[in-house]
Amino acid sequence: MTASAAPLPMPAGGRARPRRTIGWRTALPYVGIALIVLYCLAPFYWMLVSALRRPSEQFDTSFLPAHWSLDNFQAVFKHDNGFGRALLNSVVVAGTTTILTLIVGTFAAYALARLDFRGKNLALAVIIATSMFPGISLIVPLLKLFTQIHWINTYQAMIVPSLSFVLPLAVWNLTVFFRQMPFELEQAALIDGCTPTQAFRKVILPLAAPGLFTTAILAFIAAWNEFIIALTMVNRKEMQTATVTITKFTGATNFDQPFGTQMAAGVVVTIPLVIAVLIFQRRIIAGLTAGGVK
């Protein structure tokens, strides 16, 4: 004979505890988050699946590839495409733009946040207003200027315009970040014998690391994804960035659409951004939420 299971003890008062049910109001936020995540990841998923199809099945619309293949990724790095050099050019342009943005933006934002001078708010408003100009409206003047000073087909022809578009947002973000830091930090450092420069370098900058990391990631993503300036200012294949090179992929014949190869190149271009965000996600979140709670 098998022993029967002992009944569960009754709680005090002799009443069984009611089972906790999840109401629709509790589940609704999670459903909304799931829908947003699916909406954001769907394009990247379709790009990855299309890149893993055979070239002969590139227009297949099935949810998963019928035959998995890496042929598209191999075709991306063929010598004729010049995609490896294009990736190097993108790293140089985006990396240099990010470094210059951090250097100039940090000093400008610190001055706007800490120093008192006439027209400070007006200067900040003008800086952020410059980022509202559409990039396409500045292409013709920049093209004429860079032609006169012989900057066409150079890195600076892509870095300087990208810097002008990325820097205003960086200055604005860092100014808000520096303003929420207590003034007592510099005062305590000065009392301890530090000079203003030492207080900024040894006290303020380490505490501003979350904001700097967030600004750096945003600046790198904007410079990495830039297309219209790189397309206009550079016409030599060896100087083109990855975003421009992808649009110039060709098929085996003039009538082939290199859809799978372009999807594979898109995956390769997206991977560095995904890795950077995953590595620095905590600092990015800290920088975006800084000043929300004091």
Q: What is the pLDDT of residue 275?
A: 84
Mean pLDDT of the chain: 84
For 30-58, the DSSP string reads HHHHHHHHHHHHHHHHHHHHHHTS-GGGT
Tens of pLDDT, residue by residue over 19-67, are 555 667 788 888 999 999 999 889 989 999 999 988 888 888 888 888 8
Q: What is the rounded distance in angstroms from the CA atom of residue 173 to the CA atom of residue 168?
A: 9
Q: Phi and psi (nearest 5°) for 128?
A: -70, -25
Mean pLDDT of 219-241: 92
- pLDDT at site 18: 55
Please give the share of the chain, as a percent, with pLDDT higher than 90: 34
* H or E element in which residue 95 lies: helix 83-114
Q: pLDDT higher for 289 or 263?
A: 263
Residue 132, both tokens: 């509202």
Single out the residue of 217, 223, 231, 248 nearest to residue 91, CA to CA.
223
Q: What is the DSSP letter of 133?
A: S
Q: What local confidence, expressed as pLDDT, does residue 6 receive? A: 53
Contact call for residues 54 and 69 (beta carbons, < 8 A): yes
Domains of the chain (ranges; CATH) run 28-69 (no CATH), 80-289 (1.10.3720.10)
* pLDDT at position 293: 45
- Segment 119-150, tens digit of pLDDT: 888 888 888 888 787 878 888 999 999 999 99
| Amino acid 182: pLDDT | 85
Mean pLDDT of 172-180: 87
Model confidence at 189: pLDDT above 90: no
Over 70: is that where the pLDDT of 15 sits? no
Helix axes 83-114, 156-179, angle to 10 degrees: 40
DSSP string computed for 170-209 = HHHHHHHHHHTS-THHHHHHHHTT--HHHHIIIIIHHHTH
Mean predicted confidence (pLDDT) in 260-266: 90
**Rounded mean pLDDT of 268-273?**
87
| Mean pLDDT value of segment 186-209 | 86
The C-alpha atoms of residue 123 and residue 168 are separated, in whole angstroms, by 11
